[in-house]
Structure 1
Amino acid sequence: MFARGVAAASVLIAVVLVGAVAIVVVVVVVGVVIEVVIAVVLLAVAVIVAVVVGEGEVVVVVVVVVVVVVVVVEVVVKVVFVAVI
């Protein structure tokens, strides 16, 4: 009787832990997707501004580099955060 209770509790704990990890992973994935969408929008705005201003190449290159670096750093931080948890 006691062994069955321990087994049931172990299964319940495992299910809760898997659920918690799944929730964290989903939140991180959704966060990454949102960041990528924001980055694409920022890049589009940068291209439009560059075309309007006329200094296309310089502005686009600088903005692309900055946005890509920021997104990559944020994604790496989130992945490391999930790995640590």
Structure 2
Amino acid sequence: MMVAPVVVVVVVVVVAVVVIVEEVEVVVVVEVVVVVVVVVVVVIVVVVVVVVVIVVVVVVLVVVVAVVVISVVVVVVVVVVVVEVVVVVVVVVEVVVVVVVVVVVIQGVVVVVVVVEVVAI
């Protein structure tokens, strides 16, 4: 992505250096070209390393966000299940209370009937 502009700059620099030092020995031009190539390689390596670091950071952030979202979902599901269990327990307790009240009322009626029968005798 950034390699093409770097290559264009390198070519322009190399041509300018060759034009400027055309009367100087070829060895100087070769040394300049080697230095420019080394600089280009270093720049490309640095760009690749930066891109890899950015990708790794983004992947780590995505994983962290996914873990947080999953944790929140699990907590919400647990809370919903606990609330449902509490509702079921409350309904069961209400049914037991109603059954106890009915049994007490029936026993009271039986007691009243027995008392009435005893008084009638």
Structure 2: gaps spanning 5 or more residues: 1-27, 83-121
Task: Give the equivalent residue in structure 2 for 1:14.
Answer: 41
CA displacement 1:38-62 (0-9 Å, x = unmatched): 000001001000011129xxxxxxx
> Structure 1 runs of 4+ off > 6 angstroms?
none
Q: Tell me how far apart the structure 2 counterparts of residues 24 and 9 of structure 1 sit (CA, whole Å).
A: 22
1:50 paired to 2:93: no
Instruction: Select 2:67's aligned residue among 40, 55, 69.
Output: 40
1:23 paired to 2:50: yes
Structure 1: gaps spanning 5 or more residues: 56-85
> Normalising by the residue count of structure 2, what TM-score does the alignment of the two structures yield?
0.44
Q: Percent identity?
A: 45
Q: Which residue type is aligned with residue 49 of structure 2?
A: A
Q: Which residue type is aligned with residue 57 of structure 2?
A: V
SS of the equivalent of 1:14 reads: helix
Provide the alpha-carbon RMSD of the alignment.
1.3
> Normalising by the residue count of structure 1, what TM-score does the alignment of the two structures yield?
0.63
Task: Give the equivalent residue in structure 1 for 2:32.
Answer: 5
Query: Bigger radius of gyration, 1 or 2?
Result: 2
Q: Tell me how far apart the structure 2 counterparts of residues 39 and 12 of structure 1 sit (CA, whole Å).
A: 40
Q: Tell me how far apart the structure 2 counterparts of residues 50 and 24 of structure 1 sit (CA, whole Å).
A: 39
